[in-house]
Amino acid sequence: MSFYFWLAAGAVAGGFVNGLAGFGTALFALGFWLQILPPTEAVSLVVIMSVVSGLQGVALVRQSIRENPVRLLRFVVPGIIGIPIGVKLLSIASPFAIKLTVATFLIGYSGFVLVRRDLPRLSRSKPAIDYLIGFAGGILGGAASLSGVLPTIWCTLQPWTKSEQRAVMQPFNVLILGIAGVTYAISGYYSSRSVSLILITLPITLISAQAGIWAFRRLSDDQFRRLLVSLMLLSGLIIVVKELLLG
């Protein structure tokens, strides 16, 4: 029962936050699933959940995508190149290292959210850095399903509208993780047990994503920000305490 509790908790957290914020399935689900699943199985599972829950967000910004497809390609093309590197890292990295990497992103990104209002916005886009961010996002996507973290931070600093930012972040995340999922399948990461886990977590993720959308429409900006930061910090700290203090 403990196993299924952690499994359901990860699906609820990942789906809810994706619906609430438009990203973050891996950040939150892995905080739970890495406690009960091997890293390769946890990451390959969260890829499926991230893609499915993210597709609804892509549909919302399809017009913005059509208006500037070249900008999206600056992230996607190098991101695709980085995926195999990340998948290789996943196969050789220790579970301890992957868990602490996830925890670092959870805690670090929550800190970013706290100070983001005070960060200066760039006066113009920097395409060369877009390529580097996309490449690094591809590596993180292949290694830990965390493709959206760096692009999200970078897009927030751009002189783009909210819809323009989402038109990069959400399709990039869905495309990179979709390709990563295919790569995982080719690499043999999915098994009959994986299918069972997907059948359990998928409906929970979808329902939780809808709950997140419902909550987002009713929260003020400050309430949303505090909830997001609290969830990130809590999930990251749970991993750190368990790994460093409890072993």
pLDDT in tens, 172-202: 999 999 999 998 899 888 988 999 999 999 9
Q: Which helix (H) or strand (E) is 165 found in, with range? A: helix 162-186
Cα(245)–Cα(219) distance, rounded to whole angstroms?
Answer: 36
Q: How confident is the model at residue 233 (pLDDT cuts 50, 70, 90)?
A: confident
Nearest Cα residue to 142 out of 105, 179, 180: 180
State pTM to two decimals: 0.78
Looking at residue 118, its pLDDT comes to: 59
Q: How confident is the model at residue 131 (pLDDT cuts 50, 70, 90)?
A: very high
Cα(180)–Cα(130) distance, rounded to whole angstroms?
Answer: 20
In the predicted model, what is the mean pLDDT of residues 208-221? Answer: 80
